[in-house]
Amino acid sequence: MTDTALPWWKAATAYQIYPRSFADSNGDGIGDIPGITARLDHLADLGVGFIWLSPVYRSPMADNGYDISDYRDIAPEFGTLADFDQMLAEAKARGIGVVMDLVVNHTSDEHAWFQSSRSDPEGPHGDWYVWRDAGPDGGVPNDLQSFFGGPAWTWDEGRGQYYLHLFDRKQPDLNWDTAEMRAAVYEMMAWWFDRGVAGFRMDVIDLIGKDVDRGITADGPTLHERLQEMHQAVLKGSDVVTVGEAWSATPQNALLYCGRDRGELSMVFQFEHVVAGWDPAHGKWTRKAIDLPTLKRVFGKWQEVCAEDGWNSLFWGNHDLPRAVSRYGDDSPKHRVASAKALATVLHLMKGTPYIYQGEEIGMTNARFTRIDQYRDVETLNFHRIQTGAGVTEADFIAGANANGRDNARTPMQWDDSANAGFTSGEPWIEVNANYTEINAAADRADPEGVFARYRALAKLRKESDLVVLGRYEAVSEDHPQVWAYTRRLDDARLAVIANLSSESVDYIAPENLAITGTGLFGPRTRIAAGETLSLAPWETVVIQG
Ligand code: TEU
Ligand code: CA
């Protein structure tokens, strides 16, 4: 890169690790930190600049670590602080930063703060959580619902009050109106920075400004005030990266989080492309096909929002979402590899920081479970109970869970074709996908035309090319139902990206603004003439730098 003022994370490719499912070093069936350390070369080879590590803190694991009982310790099943420090050092030696998951909308109910809060209302932690008296009828204070189903309030016998939990009842919400609580969070963050972490991914950060009594949860009145306070307290002046998970982020409010003069975050995860693929009436538990023009318009709009200021994060999947190739591609044996590569290409050549979710780089697919007892996810199990109770058939529920349930992304990483995909020598905590003998890292990495090779090439390109990092995105033929085409432009340099995102061959007529002559990046073609018909094979990509 030529621009030395550019923050390091703008030219980096990120990689998310869900530790429970990545690599098990000791045969207990649960992925762990030494397992990650042993696999760092896979990531270094991929060209990853930083890892977003899903929570590894001490936790009773009601939500696989998103329920933290001690922010300054490691869950024993994941290892020790010494293991963590070693992983950090070995990652650093490979030029890879480690970004922690900051889960501070809520803690575990087993956190000492909550224990103290529930037993001693007048004590030092009495108002660190959101407590309310029962409503006039003796029931819940209001009708706020948990994201995991059912009321967001649970009665605490000892304190004689309800506490708020926007997620599971084992995840009580912290009270962000309490200054001492906020200070404790900032101190904890500083403690991790002192240990050498490269930044934080901030779990449901758009919920911390909530106004419970007015029923406002996301994007609440104090949200940006709190983020600015946090920035002043621990982020200011350092070169850490921060990415806020913000389901409520819109093109209208995005720059409030990541505008250059705001003093808040580096970027947010927005979910407009995810939600656009959900059924408006039934949410994610029903299947709905992806409509490419809508998808392109959503991404295009966000490219526009952050064209001059702010910064985008780019992702297809994470630990809460279905596998990219199953959701947006075609995971049949015939098209899986080509579609995974096409999806990687269109995403990673946009402007922003791309995030690879573990297994995506080898084209891993959804789980395809057939029985509810194969699922482990608290959200899936809760909604199974609620929906089948309300008359949804077992088969319909399983079909929905197989389309969008969170366990799709949580089956173990498929390393090779040995027993349990090389993930564990024991009994895995969740079933390994039966397709591991075909789909695994060893096999894919051995193939120069494989998925991994494409991801590696894309990460390398980003590291080396100002055009890929900074070029302006310009949409081309946005209404085309099968082809995603765009250009990037930086001064005189241009990049043309064309992908057939369908399983049929397409004759695509290149409009004038796509004409280019230059170097073909992933194929032999070096020129596109205005009005020329490109015969694109299913999921074929054409990328030309001119
Ligand atoms: O996810 C936030 C969140 O809202 C998801 O649970 C989402 O609503 C759901 O999967 C889609 O319907 C974050 C974490 O990423 C998730 O793993 C945690 O369970 C959750 O917060 C609570 O910490
Ligand atoms: Ca283990």
DSSP 231: I
pLDDT on residue 296: 97
Same domain, 243 and 351: yes
Write the pLDDT tens digit of every residue in 305-356: 999 999 999 999 999 999 999 999 999 999 999 999 999 999 999 999 999 9
CA of 66 to the centre of ligand 1 (A): 9
Same domain? For 120 and 84 the reply is: no
Query: Are 336 and 374 a contacting pair, CB within 8 Å?
Result: no
Q: In degrees rounded to 5, what are phi and psi of residue 478?
A: -60, -25
Please say which residue of 120, 150, 173 terminates a domain. 173
Measured CA to CA, the distance from residue 15 to residue 393 in angstroms comes to 37
Give the Å distance between the CA of 429 and the centre of ligand 2: 10
For the stretch 183-215, what's the b/e string if a residue is b when 16 or more beta carbons lie within 10 angstroms of its beta carbon? ebbbebbeebbeeebbbbbbbbbbbbbbebeee
Same domain, 273 and 396: yes
Domain finish residue from 403, 431, 456: 456
Of the residues 156, 173, 190, which one is the last residue of a structural domain?
173
Residue 234 lies in a domain: yes
Question: Is the same domain home to 100 and 116?
Answer: no
CA distance 76 to 57: 9
Residue pLDDT, tens place only, 180-231: 999 999 999 999 999 999 999 999 999 999 999 999 999 999 999 999 999 9
Nearest residue CA, atom 12 of ligand 1? Answer: 284
Q: Is residue 465 one of the residues assigned to a domain?
A: no
From 283, 310, 316, select the one nearest 298 (Cα to Cα).
316
- Can you give the CATH number for the domain in which 337 is found? 3.20.20.80
Together in a domain, 230 and 91: yes
Same domain membership, residue 527 and residue 421: no
Number of domains in the chain: 3
* Residues forming beta bridges with residue 188, ordered by sequence position: none
Catalytic residue among 206, 219, 229, 245: 245
| Residue 477 within any structural domain of the chain | yes
Q: 3-class DSSP state for residue 289?
A: coil
Smallest CA-to-CA distance from 441 within 462, 412, 403 is with 412
389 within some domain: yes
CA 303 to chain centre: 18
Q: Is residue 464 part of a domain?
A: no
**Residue 203 appears among annotated catalytic residues:** yes
Q: Do 382 and 435 lie in a common domain?
A: yes
- DSSP helix/strand/coil, 479: coil
Q: Whose CA is nearest to atom 17 of ligand 1?
A: 320
pLDDT-derived band at 284, boundaries 50, 70, 90: confident
Residue whose CA lies nearest to ligand 1 atom number 5: 320
Residue 365 lies in a domain: yes
Segment 128-135 shows an average pLDDT of 98
Q: Is the pLDDT of residue 4 over 70?
A: no
Give the predicted TM-score (pTM) of the model. Answer: 0.97
CA of 112 to the centre of ligand 2 (A): 26
Sign of CA dihedral 203, 205, 209, 213: negative
- Residue 249 domain boundaries: 8-107+179-456
Same structural domain, 112 and 233: no
Pairing, β 313-314 against β 353-357: parallel
Residue 77 has pLDDT above 60, yes or no: yes
Q: Which long-range contacts (CB under 8 A, 24 or more apart) does 110-114 make?
A: 110/60, 110/67, 110/69, 110/170, 111/68, 111/69, 111/70, 112/69, 112/70, 113/174, 113/181, 113/184, 114/172
